[in-house]
Amino acid sequence: QVQLQESGPGLVKPSETLSLTCTVSGGSISGYYWSWIRQPPGKGLEFIGYIYYSGSANYYPSLKSRVTISVDTSKNQFSLKLNSVTAADTAVYHCARFHADYTYFDLWGQGTLVTVSS
Protein backbone atom coordinates (compact mmCIF):
# COMPACT_ATOMS: atom_id res chain seq x y z
CA GLN A 1 0.00 0.00 0.00
CA VAL A 2 1.04 3.62 -0.40
CA GLN A 3 3.33 4.88 2.36
CA LEU A 4 4.85 8.28 3.06
CA GLN A 5 8.13 8.91 4.85
CA GLU A 6 9.55 12.26 5.87
CA SER A 7 13.29 12.88 5.98
CA GLY A 8 15.58 15.78 6.74
CA PRO A 9 17.62 17.47 9.47
CA GLY A 10 16.19 17.33 12.97
CA LEU A 11 17.93 20.51 14.06
CA VAL A 12 17.94 23.87 12.28
CA LYS A 13 19.49 27.13 13.48
CA PRO A 14 17.36 30.28 13.84
CA SER A 15 17.15 32.39 10.66
CA GLU A 16 18.18 29.42 8.50
CA THR A 17 16.07 27.32 6.12
CA LEU A 18 14.22 24.17 7.14
CA SER A 19 14.26 21.57 4.36
CA LEU A 20 12.30 18.32 4.40
CA THR A 21 11.52 15.65 1.81
CA CYS A 22 8.60 13.23 1.67
CA THR A 23 9.14 10.00 -0.22
CA VAL A 24 6.06 8.24 -1.56
CA SER A 25 6.42 4.47 -1.86
CA GLY A 26 4.02 1.77 -3.04
CA GLY A 27 2.30 4.08 -5.50
CA SER A 28 2.79 6.95 -7.89
CA ILE A 29 2.93 10.59 -6.89
CA SER A 30 1.22 11.47 -10.16
CA GLY A 31 -2.44 12.33 -10.21
CA TYR A 32 -2.65 13.51 -6.62
CA TYR A 33 -2.19 16.51 -4.37
CA TRP A 34 0.40 16.31 -1.59
CA SER A 35 0.60 18.35 1.55
CA TRP A 36 2.63 19.39 4.58
CA ILE A 37 1.08 19.80 8.03
CA ARG A 38 2.94 20.54 11.24
CA GLN A 39 2.26 20.05 14.93
CA PRO A 40 4.13 22.10 17.54
CA PRO A 41 4.94 20.08 20.69
CA GLY A 42 1.81 19.57 22.75
CA LYS A 43 -0.31 21.56 20.32
CA GLY A 44 -2.70 21.02 17.44
CA LEU A 45 -2.30 20.54 13.72
CA GLU A 46 -1.36 23.43 11.44
CA PHE A 47 -1.82 23.42 7.69
CA ILE A 48 1.25 24.57 5.75
CA GLY A 49 0.33 24.01 2.12
CA TYR A 50 -0.18 21.55 -0.70
CA ILE A 51 1.06 20.90 -4.21
CA TYR A 52 -0.36 19.10 -7.24
CA TYR A 53 1.93 16.59 -8.92
CA SER A 54 2.12 18.97 -11.88
CA GLY A 55 3.71 21.61 -9.64
CA SER A 56 0.96 24.11 -8.81
CA ALA A 57 0.99 24.94 -5.10
CA ASN A 58 -1.17 26.64 -2.48
CA TYR A 59 0.06 27.87 0.90
CA TYR A 60 -1.48 28.91 4.19
CA PRO A 61 -1.64 32.72 4.09
CA SER A 62 0.38 33.43 7.23
CA LEU A 63 3.26 31.22 6.04
CA LYS A 64 3.12 32.03 2.35
CA SER A 65 6.03 34.48 2.38
CA ARG A 66 8.41 31.86 3.85
CA VAL A 67 7.25 28.57 2.33
CA THR A 68 8.04 26.72 -0.88
CA ILE A 69 6.69 23.26 -1.69
CA SER A 70 8.07 21.49 -4.73
CA VAL A 71 7.64 18.08 -6.36
CA ASP A 72 10.00 15.67 -8.15
CA THR A 73 7.95 13.08 -9.98
CA SER A 74 11.05 11.23 -11.19
CA LYS A 75 11.96 10.47 -7.57
CA ASN A 76 8.37 10.14 -6.33
CA GLN A 77 9.12 12.85 -3.79
CA PHE A 78 7.89 16.26 -2.73
CA SER A 79 9.67 18.75 -0.53
CA LEU A 80 9.18 21.59 1.92
CA LYS A 81 11.38 24.61 2.41
CA LEU A 82 10.63 27.08 5.19
CA ASN A 83 13.04 29.99 5.46
CA SER A 84 13.92 32.43 8.24
CA VAL A 85 12.87 29.95 10.90
CA THR A 86 12.42 30.80 14.56
CA ALA A 87 11.74 28.74 17.67
CA ALA A 88 8.03 28.99 16.83
CA ASP A 89 8.66 26.73 13.84
CA THR A 90 9.73 23.87 16.10
CA ALA A 91 7.24 21.09 15.39
CA VAL A 92 6.63 17.59 14.12
CA TYR A 93 6.25 17.94 10.37
CA HIS A 94 3.93 15.50 8.62
CA CYS A 95 3.53 14.92 4.93
CA ALA A 96 0.17 13.69 3.68
CA ARG A 97 -1.81 12.88 0.56
CA PHE A 98 -4.51 15.50 0.06
CA HIS A 99 -7.80 15.23 -1.76
CA ALA A 100 -8.41 18.79 -2.89
CA ASP A 101 -11.87 18.12 -4.29
CA TYR A 102 -13.33 17.21 -0.91
CA THR A 103 -10.59 18.67 1.29
CA TYR A 104 -9.25 15.79 3.33
CA PHE A 105 -5.97 14.02 4.04
CA ASP A 106 -6.24 10.25 3.65
CA LEU A 107 -2.64 9.09 4.07
CA TRP A 108 -0.10 10.49 6.49
CA GLY A 109 3.56 10.06 7.17
CA GLN A 110 4.68 9.30 10.69
CA GLY A 111 6.14 12.78 11.05
CA THR A 112 9.58 14.11 11.82
CA LEU A 113 10.53 16.45 14.66
CA VAL A 114 12.38 19.57 13.62
CA THR A 115 13.83 21.69 16.40
CA VAL A 116 14.90 25.26 15.77
CA SER A 117 17.73 26.10 18.13
CA SER A 118 21.22 27.51 18.07
Partner 1 sequence: QSALTQPASVSGSPGQSITISCTGTSSDVGSYNLVSWYQQHPGKAPKLMIYEGSKRPSGVSDRFSGSKSGNTASLTISGLQAEDEADYYCCSYAVSSTLAFGGGTRLTVL
* Contacting positions for partner 1 (CB under 8 A): 37, 43-47, 58, 60-62, 94, 99, 102-106, 108-111
Residue 35's beta-bridge partner residues? Answer: 50, 96
Residue 73 vs 99, nearer CB to partner 1: 99
- Residue closest to 32 by CA, chosen among 111, 110, 112, 95: 95
| Closest separation in Å from C-beta 51 to partner 1 | 13
Residue 13 vs 87, nearer CB to partner 1: 87
Q: Are 76 and 29 in contact (CB under 8 A)?
A: yes
Residue 71 vs 98, nearer CB to partner 1: 98
| Closest separation in Å from C-beta 68 to partner 1 | 17
Cβ-proximal residues to 108 (8 Å cutoff; 6+ apart), any chain: 4, 94, 95, 96
| Closest separation in Å from C-beta 39 to partner 1 | 9
- Residue closest to 19 by CA, chosen among 101, 77, 103: 77
